[in-house]
Amino acid sequence: MLDIFFRVVNGVATLFISALLFKLYRRKDLRFYQYWSYGFFFYGANIFLRLFVASMEMTALGFLAFVLNTVGFILIMTGIGELVDMAKKTLLVTVAVQISLILMGLLADSSTVAWVALLAPHVLVILSLGFIFLRYDIDISLILIGWIPIFAVNLALAFNLLDIAYVDLVSAVSKLVVYKGMSEPIFSELADRLHKFFLGGIATDYEQEHVGGFYMVELGSISKAREIQWINRRVKKNKRNGVRTALFSFYDQITSADILEENREDLFLVRVMLGQTKLVNELDSQETVNDDMSHIQVVLQDIIKASREAAAPAEVIVYTLSNAIHTHGWKRIYAILTSTIWKLKESHVSLTCFYHPETHGNEAMTARFESMAEGVIRE
């Protein structure tokens, strides 16, 4: 009776979390919560269905429980991919892995392969969360901590080291830890602030449609003060046309003090700094990121996504592209631009990068970047 009671507790906890996640999705409008809400729903349905079938019994009901479990994990993995704007790729890879595991289980017809098929999704979730935590500097530690015991107790069950009742009990508690991590304000704060920022643009002048793509600005040997003036004029012009402006400033070469006071509410400033940094909350429209191209790329993708979801065209100004090339190498920057340009065009986001060719001494490299650009601005 104890195992039935704890299984019901596990199922109720899973479905309850599914409802809470859907509520978060309705409030925050972030697809990550939607994918995980649906994933936990199918996961919970599988738990309740297993009340009527032995854990490894492959009857028609057992097969349905396995399918529900598989669909649930596919949706959870897709949600993880959504965190770094790779939902479609993650979905395709996860489906391919799950199909391969199912085929192995059908061909081998052994309990060992069946357990591998059941445990593999847990491993994928943990590895994916761990990769994102280490690579992209997104604080998902509590989610990761919550998921590890779920895998551990299921692994213990596979080796008959733990009673099924305690597996359900630990799983229920661990899922509450996972939900706690997902509901932390810091987890989606940048996405929330970006979405709010992009909803703030109202056009007063109506020109031709804002064209997305990659652009370069080369103002010769003029002073930095002239470049700052150019940026301030650009922010004003974008405001009139309902275009939102974001500025990536490397190493505080341009600070909020350089931006005219009348422009500060219309500019989202991303400070790119060396070393470990924390989220800066001094302004709703300011963010500090590490000088790590993976992290910078994620923030750029978040800006593109926020612009698309708010149906607000945007211009992202980088000051300077030369700094990024000197620090990270031109091949790394070139690869990122190549993979990003199509997203810029389809989302009506322009990426406008200041560069100083005289600092590079490599005319071929400069020409390669210029050939990628929709246009080179010289004044």
Sheet holding 244-250, edge to edge: 286-290, 267-273, 244-250, 314-319, 349-354, 213-217, 375-377
Q: What pLDDT score does 339 carry?
A: 85
- Of 13-27, 190-204, 300-314, the poorest mean pLDDT is in 190-204
Q: What pLDDT score does 43 carry?
A: 92
Q: What pLDDT score does 296 carry?
A: 85
Q: Could you write out the DSSP letters of every residue in 205-241?
A: S--SPPPPEEEEE--TT--HHHHHHHHHHHHHHHHHT
Q: What pLDDT score does 103 carry?
A: 80
- Of 205-214, 294-303, 346-355, the poorest mean pLDDT is in 205-214
- Looking at the fold, whether 145 and 197 belong to one and the same domain comes out as no
Q: What pLDDT score does 283 carry?
A: 55
Distance CA 71, CA 260 (A): 52
Residue 150 contacts residue 73 (beta carbons within 8 Å): no
What's the total number of domains in the chain?
Answer: 2
Q: What's the count of helices (H) and strands (E) in the chain, helices before strands?
A: 13, 7
Sign of the C-alpha dihedral, residues 302, 304, 309, 314? positive
- Looking at the fold, whether 261 and 159 belong to one and the same domain comes out as no
- Looking at the fold, whether 206 and 277 belong to one and the same domain comes out as yes
Kindly report whether the global pTM for this prediction surpasses the value 0.75.
no
Residue 2 contacts residue 166 (beta carbons within 8 Å): no
Distance CA 53, CA 44 (A): 15
How is residue 247 written in tokens? 């500025």
Residue 303 contacts residue 268 (beta carbons within 8 Å): yes
Distance CA 63, CA 38 (A): 20
- Looking at the fold, whether 244 and 366 belong to one and the same domain comes out as yes
> Is pLDDT at 266 greater than 60 in this prediction?
yes
- Of 62-66, 205-209, 255-259, the poorest mean pLDDT is in 205-209
- Please give the average per-residue pLDDT across 132-161, as a whole number: 84
Q: What pLDDT score does 188 carry?
A: 55
> Is pLDDT at 69 greater than 60 in this prediction?
yes
- Looking at the fold, whether 210 and 326 belong to one and the same domain comes out as yes
29's CB contacts (< 8 A; 6+ apart) are 195, 309
- Looking at the fold, whether 106 and 230 belong to one and the same domain comes out as no
Segments forming the whole domain that contains residue 74 = 2-183
Q: What pLDDT score does 278 carry?
A: 47
Q: What pLDDT score does 318 carry?
A: 96
Could you say which of 156, 183, 210 is where a domain stops? 183
Distances (CA, A) of 135 to 138, 139, 182, 294: 8, 11, 18, 7
Mind listing the pLDDT tens digit for each residue in 218-246? 877 668 888 999 999 999 999 988 899 99
Mind listing the pLDDT tens digit for each residue in 166-188? 999 999 999 999 988 877 654 55
Indicate the pLDDT class of residue 269, thresholds 50, 70 and 90.
very high
Residue 227 contacts residue 195 (beta carbons within 8 Å): no
Which range has the top average pLDDT, 9-13, 99-103, 292-296? Answer: 9-13
- Looking at the fold, whether 163 and 197 belong to one and the same domain comes out as no
- Please give the average per-residue pLDDT across 344-373, as a whole number: 89
Distance CA 168, CA 106 (A): 27
Q: What share of the chain is helix, strand, coil (3-state, %, to 5)?
A: 65, 10, 25
How is residue 320 written in tokens? 């300077």
- Looking at the fold, whether 258 and 300 belong to one and the same domain comes out as yes
Residue 354 contacts residue 312 (beta carbons within 8 Å): no
> Is pLDDT at 281 greater than 50 in this prediction?
no
- Please give the average per-residue pLDDT across 125-154, as a whole number: 83
Indicate the pLDDT class of residue 147, thresholds 50, 70 and 90.
very high
Q: What pLDDT score does 354 carry?
A: 94
Mind listing the pLDDT tens digit for each residue in 333-355? 998 898 889 889 888 899 999 99
Indicate the pLDDT class of residue 60, thresholds 50, 70 and 90.
confident
Distance CA 104, CA 98 (A): 10
Q: Give the count of alpha carbons within 13 A of 246, CB side only.
A: 30
- Closest C-alpha to 334, from 356, 308, 307, 353: 353
- Looking at the fold, whether 63 and 162 belong to one and the same domain comes out as yes
Could you say which of 183, 209, 243 is where a domain stops? 183
Q: What CATH number corresponds to the domain at position 335?
A: 3.40.50.300
Mind listing the pLDDT tens digit for each residue in 4-56? 899 999 999 999 999 999 988 887 667 788 899 999 999 999 999 888 875 55
Q: What are residue 357's DSSP bridge partners? A: none
